[in-house]
Amino acid sequence: MLKPPFILAIAGGGSTYTPGIVKSLMVRLNDFPLAEIRLYDIDSARQETIAPVVEKVIRDHSQTIKFTTTGDPEVAFSGAHVVFAQMRVGQYKMREQDEKIPLRHGVVGQETCGPGGLAYGLRTILPMVELIDMVERYADSKAWIVNYSNPAAIVAEGVRRLRPTARVLNICDMPVAAMRNMGAILGVDRHKLEVDYFGLNHFGWFTRVLVDGEDQLPALRRHIAKFGLLTEDAAQTDPQHSDPSWVKTWRNIKPIMDNFPDYLPNPYLQYYLMPNEIVEHQNPDYTRANEVMDGREKKLFAAAEEYKRTGILPDAFHVGVHGAFIVDVACSLAFDLRQRHLVIVENKGAIANLPYDAMVEVPAYITAAGPEPVRMGAVPLFHQTLLMQQLASEQLLVEATLEGSYEKALQAFTLNRTVPTMQHAKAILDDMIEANRDYWPALQKAWVNGEAAS
């Protein structure tokens, strides 16, 4: 087992989430003792902008934890015990493209769902593998990478194919954010909920929500029929998902459950089950990427600037489930706590009627040797079919990346439920290829010399 105090490296150190995650680490130092925090990023200017804020958060809690920022993987990962990954390959500039290109063709434009998520996946698989190789080269041999980098479903599948034995655990904060809202509705702390859940990342359903052994899904169903997955006054206990667009997303749980009341859907299912309504309400010239750049990013950068000028750090970043969850998972991995968390794992029969090797999202006991998935049994035909189609789309995208196959990329786009026709798929993919010319060079070459030219 790993021995504390730990050296923790954060890949994607310049992320808007870094200060919040570090704050979550600071309030849990008794559970997760730290000797050093290292930020690693390929954009040193961005990382250096955020670093003073991070250092202040650390110093408010500890004078002894060493703090390092670097763009050198050897410095970042040598002897590291735990690595948190939160890279956004292509940054917000490319997120904007992922969202706006499909919208130009009347298709959902989203960071992780539909063609936007597929394009983001094409950019991220190989940098993620590079990160794993650097960590394996320099870090403690028992080090774990806990990965938030999106699109997590595709990243997980790419890593399974290319680095099947790597000590990487892919996680998402959406289920735990949904559980936070459930807790607020039920009037209990989210840690008191024990849930059953099955699906893929950003594509799954809660089937049971136990509180003290009693299933509260019927009570939630009655509440959601009136208010969606929000408390009656829509007060959000966690600021991360409380912008107006998120409030709309929580409310959209209602129309989905009005039609299919059995299970409580992951909010991201809105993009697959009601895409036309989503597109109608999206502004093709101002998407979530713009909201985030004008909101979360701007606020953090302004605070960093003000701190530099005045020595006073304004309240400028979120501390909530996102940071708390990754720290919980890291504690369970490091100390073999066997806590039950919803994570992304190889299926191995957890969902009986999905492929054995699919990367699924289910509850798992998190041990020092990795996650042990809990068996969710066979799922109904409706859900199984939706899942199989999404899985095929994501798996073909990974194969397209590995084989340099234009045809498989086109199949991945065509199979995605958000894309109505083959012609839409092709038009969007071709625009994506142009927009991603700095990120998919090897693929472009293969596509031009091979199938794309034929």
* Ligand-binding site membership of 113 (annotated): no
d(CA 246, CA 325): 19
Applying CB under 6 A, does 80 fall inside the site for ligand NAD?
A: no
Name the minimum Å distance from CB 258 to ligand NAD.
26
> Binder to ligand NAD among 19, 115, 116, 127 (CB under 6 A)?
127
Which residues is 11 bridged to in the sheet? 40, 85
Q: Contact between 173 and ligand G6P (CB under 6 A)?
A: yes
Reduced to 3 states (helix: H, G, I; strand: E, B; else coil), residue 391 is helix
Pick from 406, 397, 423: nearest CA to 200:
397
Would the annotation count 202 as a binding residue?
A: yes
Q: What mask of x and - would describe binding to Mn ion in positions 119 to 158, judged by CB under 5 A?
A: ----------------------------------------
Residue 125 binds which entry of Mn ion, ligand G6P, ligand NAD, none, with Cβ cut-offs from 5 to 8 Å by kind?
Answer: none
Nearest alpha-carbon partner for 141 in 162, 166, 158, 160:
166
Candidate segments 6-14, 161-169, 172-180, 362-370, binder of ligand G6P by CB under 6 A: 172-180
DSSP result, 13-36: TTSTTHHHHHHHHHTTTTTS-EEE
Residues 144-173 that bind ligand NAD (CB under 6 A): 148-150, 152, 172-173
Crossing angle between the packed helical segments 114-138 and 422-435, to the nearest 10 degrees: 50
Among 7, 25, 172, 428, binds Mn ion (CB under 5 A): 172
Q: Which does 17 bind (CB under 5 to 8 A by kind): Mn ion, ligand NAD, ligand G6P, none?
A: ligand NAD
Which of the listed partners (Mn ion, ligand NAD, ligand G6P, none) does 418 bind, with a CB threshold of 5 to 8 Å by partner kind? none
Does 100 sit near ligand G6P (CB under 6 A)? Answer: no
Local structure of 196: helix, strand or coil: strand
Binding track over 90-109 against ligand NAD, x by CB under 6 A: -xx-----------------
Interface residue with ligand G6P among 15, 150, 236, 414 (CB under 6 A) is 150
Helix, coil or strand: residue 171: coil
Segment near Mn ion (CB under 5 A); pick from 165-173, 298-306, 307-315, 376-384: 165-173
Q: Taking CB under 6 A as the criterion, which residues in 202-241 touch ligand NAD?
A: none
Q: In angstroms, rounded to a whole number, what is the distance separating the alpha carbons of residues 128 and 337?
A: 27
- Residue 88 interaction partner, one of Mn ion, ligand NAD, ligand G6P, none, beta carbon < 5-8 Å per kind: ligand NAD
How far from 86 is each of 120, 155, 169, CA to CA, in Å?
A: 13, 12, 12
Which residue out of 98, 173, 238, 328 is catalytically annotated? 173
Active site residue 307: no
> b/e string for 208-232 if b means 16 or more Cβ within 10 A?
ebebeeeebbeebeebbeebbbbbe
Report the C-alpha gap between 271 and 285 in whole angstroms.
19
Phi, psi of 31 (to 5 degrees): -85, -30
Contact between 411 and 118 (Cβ < 8 Å): no
Any catalytic annotation for residue 268? yes
Q: By CB under 6 A, tell whether 288 contacts ligand G6P.
A: yes
For the bound state, the minimum distance from the C-beta of residue 361 to ligand NAD, rounded and expressed in Å, comes to: 11
With contacts defined by CB under 6 A, name the span among 85-93, 223-231, 378-386, 396-404 that binds ligand NAD. 85-93
How far apart, in whole angstroms, are the C-alpha atoms of residue 119 and residue 429? 8
- On whether the CB atoms of residues 19 and 54 are closer than 8 A, the answer is yes
Which of 25, 94, 174, 415 is the binder for Mn ion (CB under 5 A)? 174
Residue 106 to residues 71, 123, 425, 428, Cα–Cα distance (Å): 40, 23, 11, 10
| Interface with ligand NAD in residues 406-445 (CB under 6 A) | none
Residues placed in the known binding site: 95, 150, 172, 202, 288
Residues carrying an active site annotation: 173, 268
Binding site for ligand G6P (CB under 6 A): 111-112, 150, 172-174, 288, 292
Residues annotated in a binding site for substrate: 95, 150, 288
